[in-house]
Amino acid sequence: MQLYIDTANLDEIKEAHDLGVLDGVTTNPTLIAREGVDYGKRLAEICEVVKGPVSAEVIALDAAGMIEEGVQRAEIAENIVVKLPCTVDGLKACKSLTDRDIRTNLTLCFQPLQALMVAKAGAFLVSPFIGRIDDIGEDGMDLIHRIRAIYDNYGFETKILAASIRHPKHMLDCALAGADVATVPFKVIAQFMQHPLTDKGLDAFLADYQKTFGR
């Protein structure tokens, strides 16, 4: 299972990269706006640090505009993946960019037929947003299971990138459900190696050792 970080903050990206297990990065217009920086410049900075896929979202809503922006974003670095919305225009742009050998990430996926259609259009990644589905009282994980079943039924190679992950249980459930990738905020990644019994056990080991050997 691959792990991406879901942020446009360079310090967080560098810190996550230093863990040695980071496979890629996802950004979106909200995350860039939060940083208050130029989108293209920040993408270039991120691609200097992380050599795996870096998702760069388009702002245009029409297919022609998305394709134009997508081609420009792809020129920033070879590991840029163009992020397009799961709309009819996004689908057309996905097909066109795929035909030009530009990888795409189809985002804002909230139902399985969107995932089926974008796989047919050659998407490299599809991003089901599980947290936002939970937020409206439905089951985000059910979407991951359904997409996994559809992709396995037909051998689609599009990778399922579980997005909108809010807590470690989401990550665990995605791993059990067979999501190919999860994109996770830094504060959630930071919880993945935590357990109180690990801390307690370590304290006890050190205390016992010091009692006998004095240091």
The answer to whether 114 contacts ligand E4P (rule: CB under 6 A) is no
Residue 27 Cα distances to 7, 46, 84, angstroms: 6, 10, 12
Instruction: With residue 72 as reference, give the H or E element that holds it.
Output: helix 63-74
The conformational region for residue 37 under phi > 0 = left, psi -120 to 50 = alpha, else beta, is beta
Q: Which of 52, 65, 122, 131 forms a contact with ligand E4P (CB under 6 A)?
A: 131
DSSP per-residue codes, 160-209: EEEBS--SHHHHHHHHHHT-SEEEE-HHHHTTTT--HHHHHHHHHHHHHH
Q: How far is the CB of 133 from ligand E4P (least distance, A)?
A: 10
| CB closer to ligand E4P out of 129 and 151 | 129
Q: How far is the CB of 215 from ligand E4P (least distance, A)?
A: 46
7 touches ligand E4P by CB under 6 A: no
Piece of 11-19, 65-73, 126-134, 198-206 that binds ligand E4P (CB under 6 A): 126-134
Is 95 one of the catalytic residues? no
Catalytic residues: 83
Interface with ligand E4P by CB under 6 A: which residues?
Answer: 6, 26, 28, 107, 127, 129, 131-132, 163-164, 183
